[in-house]
């Protein structure tokens, strides 16, 4: 328990530090005192630029990270699979494809983009479930089906893009960079994201019971199918809302829950808030590294994520015996 509190304290502190670091650093540098004065009294042009350009980007990064981390965590709970993650099993690419296709055909419906993304995510999730379900979920079959669904949606999206129906919005999503975020994006991801995150915090006891075994969970009075559908829906929702705002970012949903299990254990009551905090921290850090240290050029957070994610996944697999019993 002591270790858990310490971990939370460290993550929260780092989150605050990185957020401040991210605000004051970049192509435009500013002192903390100057920043606070500018924010309070106005009249500082640099601070205005930071407010318009950097703040949205930071807030979107934080929520994108939290959403994707929790989405992965919940998918792993319902699919009983340590590899389940929105980016890997096709939910993000499904959301991306459907949202951008709809927007290309009906640009006036731009406001509904998160909804279309959600429908796309649900479609992908449904496909993965129905093709991999055979009187139970086999972890291997699920991942293989998920990878296939992901490949198809990615290909669909790319071929679509290739034929030149590109809009400005889809260009943004392909690069899946966190730059060019506006306060409108902030509004979308904060409102939709918060709803999803709050819901995710409410279902922890279901997630805990699903970790036992379907039969055992049912014996304990859990409505297993209903719980699974609701938790999946929350996970897909979080991933879709995020994809609609920032495009596809892989690996957060995989890395964070696994780090969480190593650091704070398998209880979802603790694991979910941990994932929210550290997911936010991870994406913000990745984006800040890409933005600050490589200035004047920028590297998208998704690329930095993959650079960190690849090696980490390998380490994880080497260590996974302890947690997943081989």
* Residues of the shown chain interacting with other proteins in the complex, contacts defined by CB under 8 A: 135, 202, 205, 208-209, 211-213, 215-216, 218-223, 261, 265-267, 269, 322-325
With contact defined as beta carbons under 8 Å apart, do 279 and 67 qualify?
A: yes
CA–CA dist 65, 276 (Å, integer)? 7
> Judged by CB, which is closer to other proteins: 149, or 217?
217
Minimum CB–partner distance for residue 115 and other proteins (Å): 27
Unique residue bearing structure tokens 């409102």: 191
Minimum CB–partner distance for residue 315 and other proteins (Å): 18
133 forms beta bridges with 137
> Judged by CB, which is closer to other proteins: 56, or 72?
72
Minimum CB–partner distance for residue 149 and other proteins (Å): 26
Tally the C-alpha atoms within 13 A of residue 34's C-alpha that lie toward its C-beta.
13
> Judged by CB, which is closer to other proteins: 172, or 261?
261
> Judged by CB, which is closer to other proteins: 39, or 230?
230
Which of 73, 77, 147, 81 is closest to 320 using CA atoms? 81
Minimum CB–partner distance for residue 262 and other proteins (Å): 10
Minimum CB–partner distance for residue 276 and other proteins (Å): 18
CA–CA dist 211, 220 (Å, integer)? 13
Helix, strand or coil, per DSSP, at residue 133: strand
Burial 168-192 (b: 16+ CB within 10 A, else e): ebbebbbebbbbebeeebbebbbeb
Minimum CB–partner distance for residue 218 and other proteins (Å): 6
Between the CA of residue 280 and those of 18, 43, 284, 319, what are the distances in Å?
A: 10, 31, 6, 24
> Judged by CB, which is closer to other proteins: 318, or 322?
322
> Judged by CB, which is closer to other proteins: 27, or 225?
225
């Amino acid at each position: 328990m002591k270790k858990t509190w310490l971990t939370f304290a460290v993550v929260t502190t780092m989150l605050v530090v990185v957020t401040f670091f991210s605000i004051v650093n970049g192509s435009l540098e500013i002192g903390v005192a100057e920043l606070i004065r500018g924010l309070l009294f106005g009249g500082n042009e640099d601070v205005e630029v930071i407010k318009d350009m950097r703040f949205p980007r930071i807030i979107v990064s934080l929520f994108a990270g939290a959403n994707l981390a929790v989405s992965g965590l919940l998918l792993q709970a319902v699919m009983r699979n340590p590899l389940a993650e929105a980016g890997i099993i096709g939910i993000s690419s499904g959301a991306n494809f459907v949202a951008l296709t709809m927007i290309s055909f009906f640009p006036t419906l731009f406001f509904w983009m998160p909804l279309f993304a959600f429908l796309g995510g649900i479609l992908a999730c449904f496909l993965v479930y129905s093709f991999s379900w055979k009187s139970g979920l086999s972890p291997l079959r699920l991942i293989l089906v998920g990878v296939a669904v992901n490949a198809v949606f990615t290909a669909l999206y790319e071929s679509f893009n290739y034929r030149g129906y590109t809009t400005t919005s889809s260009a943004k999503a392909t690069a899946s960079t966190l730059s060019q975020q506006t306060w409108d994006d902030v509004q979308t991801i904060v409102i939709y994201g918060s709803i999803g995150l709050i819901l995710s915090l409410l279902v922890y006891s279901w997630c805990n019971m699903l970790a036992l075994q379907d039969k055992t969970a049912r014996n304990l009075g859990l409505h297993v199918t209903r719980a699974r559908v609701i938790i999946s829906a929350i996970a897909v929702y979080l991933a879709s809302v995020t994809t609609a705002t920032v495009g596809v970012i892989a690996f957060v949903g995989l890395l964070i829950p696994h780090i969480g299990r190593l650091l704070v254990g398998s209880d979802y009551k603790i694991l979910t808030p941990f994932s929210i905090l550290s997911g936010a921290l991870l994406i913000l850090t990745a984006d800040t590294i890409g933005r600050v240290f490589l200035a004047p050029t920028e590297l998208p957070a998704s690329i930095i994520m993959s650079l960190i994610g690849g090696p980490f996944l390998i380490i994880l697999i080497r260590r996974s015996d302890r947690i997943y019993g081989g």
